Amino acid sequence: MVGIYRSKRLFLGLLFGFVISFSLRVHGQNIWPMPKMASSGSSTLRLSRNFELRTYRSNYLDSSGILKEAFERMVHLITAGHTAKTDFPASNVQDSAGIVLNKFDDTRTSLPVLAGINIAIRSPNETLNFGIDESYYLHVPDTGSILFARIEASTVFGALHAIETFSQLCYFNSTTKALELHSAPWTIYDLPRFPYRGLLIADTSRHYLPVPEIKSVIDSMAYSKLNVLHWHIVDDQSFPFEVPSYRKLWKGAYSSSERYTIDDAADIVNYAERRGVNVLAEIDVPGHTSSWGVGYPSLWPSNNCRNPLDVSNEFAFEVIDGILSDFSKVFKFNFVHLGGDEVYMGKALNDNNMTLSDGYRYFVLRVQNIAMSYGYDIINWEETFNNFGDKLSPKTVVHNWLGERVAQKVVAAGLRCIVSNQNKWYLDHLDVSWQAFYDNEPLTDISNPDQQKLILGGEVCMWGEQIDMSNIQRTIWPRAAAAAERLWTPLEKLAKHPIEVRMRLAHFRCLLNQRGVQAAPLDIFGRYIPQDPGSCINQ
Amino acid sequence: MVGIYRSKRLFLGLLFGFVISFSLRVHGQNIWPMPKMASSGSSTLRLSRNFELRTYRSNYLDSSGILKEAFERMVHLITAGHTAKTDFPASNVQDSAGIVLNKFDDTRTSLPVLAGINIAIRSPNETLNFGIDESYYLHVPDTGSILFARIEASTVFGALHAIETFSQLCYFNSTTKALELHSAPWTIYDLPRFPYRGLLIADTSRHYLPVPEIKSVIDSMAYSKLNVLHWHIVDDQSFPFEVPSYRKLWKGAYSSSERYTIDDAADIVNYAERRGVNVLAEIDVPGHTSSWGVGYPSLWPSNNCRNPLDVSNEFAFEVIDGILSDFSKVFKFNFVHLGGDEVYMGKALNDNNMTLSDGYRYFVLRVQNIAMSYGYDIINWEETFNNFGDKLSPKTVVHNWLGERVAQKVVAAGLRCIVSNQNKWYLDHLDVSWQAFYDNEPLTDISNPDQQKLILGGEVCMWGEQIDMSNIQRTIWPRAAAAAERLWTPLEKLAKHPIEVRMRLAHFRCLLNQRGVQAAPLDIFGRYIPQDPGSCINQ
């Protein structure tokens, strides 16, 4: 009850009401992330109750239904859980194909009716991987006898981005009970600035995340056009993953009900790919491996020293080979992540023949070769570069996390780099605001175009020491979305109008909530609690 | 990364592993809430890949599919999002009905196979309402040629509880990839201690909750056998609800996208009823009504006094009549909640003919009569009883929230009561632990059996001043589940073994997480954050 809130709230409420009207009506372009080019008008259209997908002149056959499912998900999302009216009287206009359409079938508002979307895709290929063409063209007309939106893309995955963008132009009209599209005509041309736009969420060793939760996060990634889920599967605390080649490894799981089968992994990869999201699997070696010895105690250097893995123990390399062999059957992304971070030199890396640092280097390079033998390119955390960058395989992508000035050194050395500097892009750092996430520029102090190309993109990291099913989504969102726009939108369009960016992100946060994502209020820091009653768009 | 956690975590991890094995294996009866009577054995069964629903000798025809949908939801929940193996070789045993079954079709474990469930329901009626028979009998055999579980219930809603209980006996076996049932044979007889087991979540004036989120909470209510969703729809801050009789009322919504249509309400009621959950709608009058005047300014006593409603303004009663008339078309529960709390006497309740307190009483009683004219029984917050209890309609249910000693006075006066004492059962009081929720006894100091019958039950309240889509579920769960067992399980079976209760609730919290509910760790208080890595069952 808390009656003391009452009077104050009312006046805030009225103020909020005004601000929202402003935000929803004046800002036609509430798209997140902002496209490369977008022009809009002032017409409102109503989606036909027979709103349909067409693929006229498309080379993509959609034999596995990726496009059809995405279209159906989109229509479902636009309704935002409302019961849309479907009994508008039909006027039985017929289009050229003889399909019954209704150009003006809303007797109350007589809005022009959008009959559907035609999606033309140039490539018949539906293999997702790093560096594919994600660009798209979207046009929504507001004049003509029969109105169809038009999407053109090189790949089905570009078309998925276009469908997501289209969904953000539409809304459920609570007065007419119809699905409507605002600010038509629209003409949008769009493509990402960086090919790698990642989110590390699945730190599933510190806390187990149920499979449906991982899928929910994949859904939310697609809403902001992130395209790499970095699955940090195992770590010191637990080994929840089934490795058919070494079945005892998942004895290191917290419990029999906190495990992922190899079929679960295949299911997650398939689910992600159908949404344009790659899954990057990681085994973090030689450190962060204490849980490996629960099933195979001989992997522990000794009972009082349980990591890093022992460089003089051939069995360690056999197990890693088995893991990567099994990975290669399920994780089809070009890259595998081999960790290599926070290796605290101990006896384990010592060998009669080498020093501690030699042992560390030997271990990392040997594991790189194993991974490459399975066709993978390699990602390693930055310590490997910091310690022996000149020895790393040229196929190595260095994953920056510790330092501010590492990316510049990596690309200067001719290696590729992913930016995740912890002071800006670690989601478990709750004191970092969404503005700081938004402002973190991967190309800082990298002016040479050839070196710029070596920055593949960036990744925000949701480490799991204090994260579980109960708070992960609200810790990720909306801050991860701020980074997503930094990674997608052309530099010259970013952060030109702070108030507009904030209002648009607030709108996107409300959209995430509508779609079942527990995105937290924007203010003030990560995982914030609404302090007062109010509209989601003002919090 | 945060490597400092490593070594400490490992040992905790191993310890946790042991505790979980203990909890998952030794505690056969991990059912929440604990049934009235339950006996179990030590056999493990595997659910047939053709696991089927039968309704032999049932008088309930399931014409609207309530039972069939519940059965399918249950099978889906048991898999916990895993990919269950379905290619076990069949041995083609045929049962009496000629259906192909497999008594031992798991070649690796050769477990007895449970072929399905037969559900026999005595009443063909599927109208949910207050006081229906929710009892059920569940038997799971472990011997016989063809194994079928058996459920018997008076109503389909008792059968829904039985299906929920059955689902808590089953789990996905990550090693065999099969769905299994543990501790068979089971014999359970169960029924609730109180007919009213409520959760106030939908305080949708302070923060709007999207329709899918309200449905998610209804799902989670059914998991702990709560049966009343108290929807506090409107308040001072906003009026998100469509009232066809007075269409301007929802001009008081925060925005056009933060509204519920009357169709949404019907959809939510139907969704809830199909899960055995009643929806109690509330209009809180004469206080908490500031938002009403946004659409109809004449409802404001004056510009600087916007509530309570003006007792001398006939239009206020006309609007209330219109709201209750529209309510009666959608909200079919016996009861409607008319609020009546926190009325700060002001000019508004004054009239030439009466004093302030007379105005308050006159208003409440007149609105009671309007509600009764639409066939409703009435629920009012306790202030109405505290101020003029002897004048309330005998059909009134008094909703206790303020005081500790009110329920005793209410039943002594011969009125019915629902207990929600804020110091124990307000979920927005984060300093109240799950143990305090569990220990709050509605019948405290009520020994007279006739008076005990007047306590319909209790309700935990999730007020929304600091609650929105991003944090509501984790603020409700697991504490609401603790109250749910208090309201369901016989007094003599409650809290006998604190460690057992804690372990069972921890298990239920993990189950909620598996099912997509963001239930927070048990310790220490409400909406807690996991402090360290670990298994969900230890947090």
For residue A413 the two structure tokens come to: 């050395």
Looking at residue B103, its pLDDT comes to: 39
Higher pLDDT among residues A12 and B82, named by residue:
B82
What is the residue-averaged pLDDT of chain A?
A: 90
d(C-alpha A195, C-alpha A198), whole Å: 10
- Report the pLDDT value the prediction gives residue B3, as an integer from 0 to 100: 36
**For residues A265 and A241, what is the distance between their CA atoms, to the nearest angstrom?**
9
Residues of A in contact with B238 (CB under 8 A): 13, 533, 535
User: What's the whole-number mean pLDDT along residues A60-78?
Assistant: 97
pLDDT over 90 (residue B470):
yes
Structure tokens given for B205? 């004036």
Query: pLDDT tens across B374-428, in order?
Result: 999 999 999 999 999 999 999 999 999 997 889 999 999 999 999 999 999 999 9
Flag the least confident range among A108-112, A259-263, B225-229. A108-112
Q: Which long-range contacts (CB under 8 A, 24 or more apart) does A73-76 make?
A: A74/A163, A74/A164, A74/A166, A74/A167, A75/A47, A75/A51, A75/A179
In chain A, % helix, strand, coil (3-state, to 5) comes to: 35, 20, 45
pLDDT of B346 reads: 64
CB contact under 8 Å between A306 and B470, yes or no, is no
Question: For all residues of chain B together, what is the average pLDDT?
Answer: 90
Q: Determine, for residues A254 and B291 on separate chains, whether the beta-carbon distance falls below 8 Å.
A: no
pLDDT tens sequence across B100-143: 344 333 444 589 999 999 999 999 999 999 999 999 999 999 99
Strand partners, A186: A140
pLDDT exceeds cutoff 70 at B345: no
Contacts of A256 in chain B (CB under 8 A): 24, 173-175
ipTM of predicted complex:
0.91
User: Is B198 buried (19+), middle (13-18) or exposed (0-12) by CB count in 10 A?
Assistant: buried
Q: Can you read off the two tokens belonging to residue B451?
A: 């008076």
Average pLDDT over residues B25-48: 87
CB A40 within 8 A of CB A184: yes
B214-243 CB burial, b ≥16 within 10 A, e <16? bbbbbbbbbbbbbbbbbbbbbbbbbbbbbb
Q: Kindly determine whether residue B463 and residue A1, on different chains, have CB atoms separated by under 8 Å.
A: yes
pLDDT score, position A303: 81
Residue B272, C-beta contacts closer than 8 angstroms, at least 6 positions apart = B218, B229, B278, B279
Please give the Cα distance from B219 to B229 (Å, whole number): 11
Residue B229 near residue B272 (C-beta atoms within 8 A): yes
Q: How far is B462 from chain A (nearest CA, A)?
A: 10
Question: For chain B, which domains are there?
Answer: 37-81+108-190 (3.30.379.10), 196-490 (3.20.20.80)
Which residues does A163 contact at the CB level (< 8 Å), separation at least 6? A70, A71, A74, A117, A119, A151
The gap from C-alpha A432 to its chain's centroid, in whole angstroms, comes to 19
* Residue B14 in this model has a pLDDT that exceeds 50: no
Q: What angle do CA A308, A309, A311 make, to 5 degrees?
A: 115
User: B277 with B221: CB under 8 angstroms?
Assistant: yes
What residues of A are in contact with residue B468 (Cβ under 8 Å)?
513, 521, 530, 536, 539
Does the distance separating the beta carbons of B210 and A513 come in below 8 Å? yes
The share of chain B scoring above pLDDT 70, in percent, equals 89
- Give catalytic status of residue A342 as yes or no: yes
- In the predicted structure, residue B480 carries a pLDDT above the cut 80: yes
CB pairs under 8 A between A and B: 295
With residue A43 as reference, give the H or E element that holds it: strand A43-54
What pLDDT is recorded for position B343?
Answer: 84
A17: pLDDT confidence band, cut at 50, 70 and 90? very low
pLDDT-derived band at A349, boundaries 50, 70, 90: low
CA A267 – CA B416 distance, rounded (Å)? 53
Supply the pLDDT for residue A99: 39
Q: Which residue of B has its CA nearest to A206?
A: B533
Top pLDDT among A25 and A334 is at: A334
Active-site pick, B69, B282, B314, B342: B342
Tokens of B402: 């303020």
Nearest Cβ partner for A210 among B20, B80, B467 = B80
Burial class for B448, CB neighbours closer than 10 Å (0-12, 13-18, 19+):
exposed
* pLDDT digit string, tens, across residues B232-273: 999 999 999 999 999 999 999 999 999 999 999 999 999 999
Residue with tokens 């109405």: B384
Average pLDDT for A170-191: 96
Q: Which DSSP string corresponds to A50-81?
A: EEEEE-TT-S---TT-HHHHHHHHHHHHHHTT
Say whether pLDDT at A338 is over 90: yes
Name the residue facing A210 among B216, B466, B513 (closest C-beta): B513
DSSP structure string for A207-221:
S---HHHHHHHHHHH
What's the pLDDT tens digit per position in B415-428?
A: 999 999 999 999 99
Which chain A positions have a beta carbon within 8 Å of B205's beta carbon?
Answer: 533
**Cross-chain CB nearest to A2 (options B242, B463, B474):** B463
Contacts of A180 (CB under 8 A, 6+ apart): A44, A45, A46, A47, A111, A170, A171, A172, A173
pLDDT (0 to 100) of residue B302 = 86
Return phi, psi of residue A502, to 5°. Answer: -60, -45
Concatenated DSSP letters of B144-210 = SSSEEEEEEESSHHHHHHHHHHHHTTEEEETTTTEEEEEEESEEEEE--S-SEEEEE---TTTS---
Chain B residues within an 8 Å CB radius of A340: none
Using an 8 Å Cβ cutoff, are B470 and A513 in contact?
yes
Region B94-98 average pLDDT? 39
Instruction: Give SS3 for A347.
Output: helix
| pLDDT reported for residue B83 | 86
pLDDT for B51: 96
Name residue A286's amino acid: P
d(CA B457, CA B274): 22
Q: In this predicted structure, what is the pLDDT of residue B13?
A: 42
What share of chain A has pLDDT > 90, as a percent?
A: 81
Which one of A342, A459, A485, A500 is the catalytic residue?
A342
Band (pLDDT 50/70/90 cuts) for residue B524 is confident
In DSSP notation, B261-281 reads: -HHHHHHHHHHHHTTT-EEEE
Asked whether the predicted pLDDT for residue B174 surpasses 80, the reply is: yes
Q: Residue range A203-207: average pLDDT? A: 94
Q: How many CB atoms lie within 10 A of CB A7?
A: 16
Is the pLDDT at A344 greater than 60? The verdict is yes
Nearest C-alpha in A relative to B289: A6
Rounded mean pLDDT, A6-21: 41
pLDDT at B17 exceeding the cut of 90: no
Quickly count: other Cβ atoms within 10 Å of residue A129's Cβ: 12
Confidence bin at B488 (pLDDT 50/70/90): very high
pLDDT bucket at A345, cuts 50 / 70 / 90: low
DSSP string, A179-194: EEEEEESEEEEE--S-
Note the pTM of the prediction, 2 decimals: 0.92
pLDDT for position B523? 85
CB-nearest to B24 from A242, A253, A256 is A256
The stretch B430-438 carries a mean pLDDT of 96
| Alpha-carbon distances, residue A376 vs A244, A261, A280 (angstroms) | 20, 22, 11
The pLDDT tens digits of the residues spanning B298-319 come to 999 888 888 899 888 999 999 9
Give the angle subtended at the CA of A120 by the CAs of A114 and A125, to the nearest 5°. Answer: 140
**How do residues A72-125 score in pLDDT, each as one tens digit?**
999 999 999 998 765 444 443 333 443 334 433 344 458 999 999 999 999 999
On chain B, the residues whose CB falls within 8 A of the CB of A5 are: 206, 236-237, 465
Q: In this predicted structure, what is the pLDDT of residue A497?
A: 85
Distance of CA A31 to the CA centre of its chain: 16
Q: Which amino acid is at B349?
A: L
